Amino acid sequence: MELKDIKELIALIRKNDLSEFSLEQEGFKITLKREAEFVPVVTTAPQVLPAPVALPAAAPAATGPAAAVPVKEGKDIPSPMVGTFYSCPAPDSPPFVSLGQQVTPDTTICIIEAMKVMNEIKAEVSGTIVEILAEDAKPVQYGQALFRIR
pLDDT class for 11, splitting at 50, 70, 90? Answer: confident
Report pLDDT for 36: 57
Residues 80 and 28 in one domain: no
Q: Is residue 45 part of a domain?
A: no
Q: Is residue 25 part of a domain?
A: yes
Residues 28 and 79 in one domain: no
Q: What is the pLDDT of residues 77-119, one digit of tens each?
A: 999 999 999 999 988 999 999 999 999 999 999 999 998 889 9
Instruction: Give residue 115's domain range.
Output: 73-149
pTM of the model as a whole: 0.53
Decide: residue 122, CB within 10 A, 0-12 exposed, 13-18 middle, 19+ buried.
Answer: middle
Q: Is residue 41 part of a domain?
A: no
Q: Is residue 66 part of a domain?
A: no
Residues 137 and 79 in one domain: yes
122 Cβ neighbours under 8 A, 6+ residues apart: 105, 106, 107, 108, 109
Q: Is residue 109 part of a domain?
A: yes
User: Averaged over 45-62, what is the pLDDT?
Assistant: 58
Question: By percentage, how much of the chain surpasses pLDDT 90?
Answer: 44
Residue 35 pLDDT more than 70? no
Number of domains comprising the chain = 2
Report pLDDT for 95: 93
